[in-house]
Chains A and B, each alone.
Chain A
Amino acid sequence: MKLSKRTEPHFRMTESGMLLIATRTAGHPQLQFPPLEFVHGDEPVEQVPIGPFGQLYTYTLVHPGKDSEPYALAMVDFEPGVRAFGRLICKDGKAPAIDSTMRIVPSELPDGSPDYAFEAVSGESA
């Protein structure tokens, strides 16, 4: 068996902003985000940065109940042909309009590990 776990992070900070890292292989040339977690055999894995800007495809505001704060989720489309899911930051409690230009911003998972979220570039509330 030749099976290896990739350890590269799924995002990268650059001067132009935060990027997500998609992957593809010769056998599966469609870009994939989240990136491949495991690699079988010796097939090379290409890392392709996506972002920093995308378009909001859809969103929702989740109300988990009286003991937890509401939170927002979004699907954001990036060139060239990648849709990413993640937390949505709503300024002043307002979700951005669908098709708004979004950027990737630093965030954290509930366990405190570094992650990403999406935020409207400016003034594009629904």
Chain B
Amino acid sequence: MNEPKIVGVGITDFGRFPELTEEALAQSAILEALSDSGLHIRDIEAFYCGNAIGASLPGQRALRELHTGGGAVYNIDNACSSGATAINAALSALRSGQYETVLVFGMDQLSSLGGGPLPLSRNDWNNKRGMIMPALYAMRATRYMHEHGMEAATLADIAVKNRQHGLLNPIATFCKATTREEVLASRQIAEPLTLLQCCPAVVDGAAAVVLSTKPSKGLAAPVRVLASVVQSGLFETGPEDMTEAEITARTARLAYEQAGVGPQDLSLIECHDAFTISELLYYEALGLCDRGEAPQLLASGATALGGRIPVNPSGGLIAKGHPPGATGVAQIVEVCEHLQGRAGKRQVEGARLGLTQVTGGGIWGVDHAACSIHILSL
């Protein structure tokens, strides 16, 4: 059996498109990925759809008017990890020999929801008492600041850095440059997190990748998947350390082991910066620095474009927004484009190895419900 590779990618603009539907956005990404792969939709044996917010049968809704050959559609909801989990499932099917060529796409349209944080289960113990995702991360930030003496300005600097990156990304349609002062002065959401420290929640978008064990006919070099790991949250009711992103650290350990590489080998990272504090916690969980050293790593410039290990060269969720079903696939598209040398003005020069990390879900008793990490190379 040949190694499965990514042979085509596609992505839509990320922005507010209330006049469109998630199906139309997905179709745009799918058609772009097919064109990039040099394949026809009838070459695709199965489809994997990541979708977190939409109604039932999202994959079939999106594919209906593309005239597929009727191959299987697998719909996967793992909250913000939906798209990356779909890629993991597709790789398993390719590696088992079940299929030779599949397409994975992620999509969500949030502009129809009317704003505010992502909706969570109303039956959840914490959510009944007022928990929202920004509040969970704000509590992590409060504790991190207490333990490590971090200033609020450091949080703001993540928002500034990622928006600087996003300005170089044509799909980040409403990204604007900002300053530390503007970030800190923006409306409080959950202290210490202000509005500009939270990824825009009302965003629509889709992304798609074609994976195949056959020789590539694509426009760009095929991309290898050295590691694909999905983990779920451990049930914890004791006094756990909320400044440790346990599920990400655990998933990263497995991914590095699977790929036979370490954090020092990486050229770039796309991580789940839903909130500014998230990116700092993930620096430590992914092994870029020791515990408590994330503020220093950020201040050194190492994680900015041109630095030693650029993090979120796409602008991340903070600059692009976060349609949760699409995010995990969009991260993969971004890393592929860097490895293939076609990331435009934000290109990480000499990119050889990239990592994507996405978490998912807010339910009581677990750090996160899900985490997916992929490591890619040419």
* Interface flag for A105 (CB, 8 Å): no
Flag if B143 contacts A62 (CB, 8 Å): no
Flag if A85 contacts B364 (CB, 8 Å): yes
Flag if B130 contacts A73 (CB, 8 Å): yes
Flag if B135 contacts A62 (CB, 8 Å): yes
Binary CB contact string for chain B from 128 to 153 against chain A (1 if under 8 A, 0 otherwise): 11111011001110110010000000
Flag if B187 contacts A63 (CB, 8 Å): yes
Flag if A63 contacts B189 (CB, 8 Å): yes
* Interface flag for B188 (CB, 8 Å): yes
Query: What is the distance, in angstroms, from A65's C-beta to the closest C-beta of chain B?
Result: 8
Flag if B135 contacts A73 (CB, 8 Å): yes
On chain B, the number of residues with a Cβ less than 8 Å from chain A's Cβ atoms is: 29
Known A-B contacts A33-B237, A63-B189, A98-B146; the reply to A58 vs B125 at CB < 8 A is no
* Interface flag for A52 (CB, 8 Å): no
Residues of A within 8 A of B65 (CB): none
On chain A, the number of residues with a Cβ less than 8 Å from chain B's Cβ atoms is: 29
Flag if B242 contacts A81 (CB, 8 Å): no
Residues of B within 8 A of A34 (CB): 125, 364
Flag if B190 contacts A63 (CB, 8 Å): yes
* Interface flag for A75 (CB, 8 Å): yes
Query: What is the distance, in angstroms, from A64's C-beta to the closest C-beta of chain B?
Result: 8
Binding site for A on B (CB under 8 A): 116, 125-126, 128-132, 134-135, 138-140, 142-143, 146, 187-193, 237-240, 242, 364
10 residue pairs, one from A and one from B, having the closest CB atoms: A60-B138, A58-B143, A58-B139, A61-B191, A63-B188, A77-B239, A60-B190, A98-B146, A32-B237, A81-B238
Beyond A60-B191, A73-B129, 7 extra complex contacts between A and B, CB < 8 Å: A59-B142, A61-B191, A77-B239, A83-B238, A85-B126, A87-B129, A110-B128
